[in-house]
Amino acid sequence: MKFNVRAIAAVAVLAIAAGAVFIAACGGGDDTDDAQAQVDQAALDAVKEQAAKAQILATMTVFRVDAMHELDDAVSEASEIDPDWQGRVTRMRRATASVVWPADMKDMAATLLEKLTSLEAALTDENLEDAKTYAPEAHAAWHELDHDAYAYVAWEEAESEDEASATGDAGRAEEENSPSASASGH
């Protein structure tokens, strides 16, 4: 199943805009009223959080559509660079850079962005040796961010890797995050 990332992003933007219009229409009061100002701020904060979640969800979808797992495997096994790889990595890099990441994910996102930028440069330079180094690093950085990103989108606390391993959820999460699982609805 292919996702139309532009359509997802457009729906997210429309939902955010509708929320902002609703907030503005319902405000209609005196800005000096502290209670109304608190309600307006809470509503604005809620819209900002939903916007962040929509951005994150759209970005994580790009990584599934462009098949980060398969890209890493293909680069690792390749004897020459496939010209399709660079476009995929560029989309992933741009999607990652476009998000206003929550504070607790900024460092992970910066690491992912750094790895994707290095991988993109290696592919641009047709340097397969460097690409074979950066692809697994970018893949690992994506998994770190992906784990917390989906927990954030779902309003859950991110489970530590140790807790996930202890409960056996790590392997299941890996399986559920695969593009083939996404395509089959699992």
Cβ atoms 58, 8 nearer than 8 A: yes
> CA 170 to CA 69: how far, in whole Å?
16
For 72, the token pair is 């890493």
Global confidence as pTM: 0.67
Counting as low any pLDDT under 50, the low residues of the chain are: 1, 160-186
Domain, as residue range, for 10 = 5-184
Q: How many helices (H) and strands (E) does the chain have?
A: 9, 0
- pLDDT tens, residue by residue, 28-68: 555 556 777 777 888 888 888 899 999 999 999 999 999 99
Number of domains in the chain: 1
> CA 135 to CA 131: how far, in whole Å?
6
